Amino acid sequence: MINLDPVIERIDALLDEDTDQSVTYAALEARLALERVCYDRLRQRHDYISHEQLRRWQPGAVVNTLIKEVDEHLGKTLTLSISKSPARPGVKLEDEEYVEVGTEIGFNPKKIAKLWNALAKLALHAHLPEHRNDDIPAYGDRARIRAKVKEVQSELRRLAKGTMTFSGLGEEVKFECSCGELNKRRAGLLRDGQHVHCFNPECKQTWKVTREDDGFGFEQVTVPVNCEACSAANHMPWRFFLDMKHDQVGSFSCHSCRHKNYVQWRLMQVHREGGKETQADT
């Protein structure tokens, strides 16, 4: 959990200086603080999603991915409380006396993304000239930057009231990858046909989620490639090929005869099945 108080104090001090330079630096500090808040929510939940499935790095996009794939409650304020006494027969749980353990303050991902983008636009990018006589000032409009930083400060002060973080709520589903890595996901957010990557950063396996009567199953997503020497089918992880660059040469050893095979992405002309020709635009 991130302690936001020091950065809030730094931003206040920079705003008190009230120069073009200090206000611009305050905007940078504020923007970094928003990133840290979002990325800390990711860090707490990284046991439930492969880093490879974070397709975008922007804070708002990261949080939206987490809400969709890991923790649908991430944007909500959650409080954990514990009963002062063990459960008693005949006493409803809601009638017990509780002690608050801690609270995670929620936030609106759209608001965070809007503030983050606004800070960059106002303070952290030079003006793009629209014509030859257009001026390119060294700094943005101090008053507008200051107002936006204060808006972010208000959000940071609200978030700083949090006293704990969660990794998410809900039933877990676990499966072991062929590499030996134990993967886990939130059952409530799994979808039939969904692809999930192994958590192991050295592993290229992707698994397809299938709904079954007693829960979920996971099938490897592979591409069969016949060995050049013995013709045995080698079921290679799809991401092994997907991650290759054009003209890059990859290799694998046949599981049967250990012959080293080489593969490469190449542009080829193909025809549709049934004799119908396909034409690509040029």
* 112 in Cβ contact with 34 (< 8 Å): yes
Of 159, 162, 163, 161, nearest to 30 (Cα)?
Answer: 159
DSSP state of 263: E
3-class DSSP state for residue 140? coil
Give the angle subtended at the CA of 204 by the CAs of 252 and 244, to the nearest 5°. 65
Distance CA 11, CA 23 (A): 8
CB neighbours of 180 closer than 8 A, spacing ≥ 6?
Answer: none
Give the HSE-up count for residue 84: Cα atoms under 13 Å, Cβ half-sphere. Answer: 5
Domain layout of the chain by residue ranges: 5-79+107-128+137-159, 172-220, 224-275
The Cα 207–Cα 193 span in angstroms is: 9
| Buried b or exposed e, range 190-227, using 16+ CB within 10 angstroms | beeeeebbbbeeebbbbbbbeeeeeebebeebbeebeb
Low-confidence residues in the chain, pLDDT < 50: 278-282
Cβ neighbour number for residue 81 with a 10 Å cutoff: 13
